[in-house]
Amino acid sequence: MKLFADKVLAFYKELTAPGYLPANVQALFPFTSPAVREVIREFYHRYFADNHARHMLIGINPGRYGAGITGINFTAPRQLAENCGIQHGFGNQSELSAEFIYLVIEAFGGAQAFYSRFYLASVSPVGYTRNGKNLNYYDDPLLSEAIRPFAVQCMNSQLGFGINRNIAICIGGDKNLRYLQGLNQQYGFFGKIISVPHPRFIMQYKRASLEKYIAEYLHALMQCVKE
């Protein structure tokens, strides 16, 4: 029987960027890099080398300074080394979403405890840029429509890893949630989707209330654990 890690690695080995993108939109696709492939292999074999079911947390799409470099969702180079214990040659760059997510992970008990129960994903496992800047898939109507078959295919593939489908957490409670709920209504991925505010919003605009938002995330995680 294949391990959870092996299924994830097979998914990324076969992953390709969406075939059609609107004009001036570029895909962030680090997965062909040997260094990224090695880091992904080490990460998933370290934290997912079992057959345990996990709940999915679903973000938007990778950004330039996080998964766009490391290939691991919500994990920038600094968090990969300091929180996950995986050395690499990507430098010490960080980004706001990764910083908040790893505050939550540490509050939950650390990477081993968190990843034994949860799998971080995105509606689109491929990120996007326009004019050198991060682009959320939902910020361009043509892009959000173009990636729809891709998003559905990727979600179905990831559900096959061993995902608990009773409840999932959507990271981002507005446009990302509406898009994901629309897909869920049509395809029945999950029995229930709950949402939490996006980490970048928290770190940019609500940093004074950081502990409150960490507690909100922990509450959502515990709802999954109790399922």
Q: Superfamily assignment of 4-225 in CATH?
A: Uracil-DNA glycosylase-like domain (3.40.470.10)
Q: What is the pLDDT of residues 143-186, one digit of tens each?
A: 999 999 999 999 999 999 999 999 999 999 799 999 999 999 99
Q: For residues 107 and 130, give the distance between their C-alpha atoms in angstroms, rounded to a whole number.
A: 35
- DSSP secondary structure of 118-151: EEEEESSSSEEEETTEEE-GGGSHHHHHHTHHHH
pLDDT score, position 227: 74
Q: Which residues of the chain have pLDDT under 50?
A: none
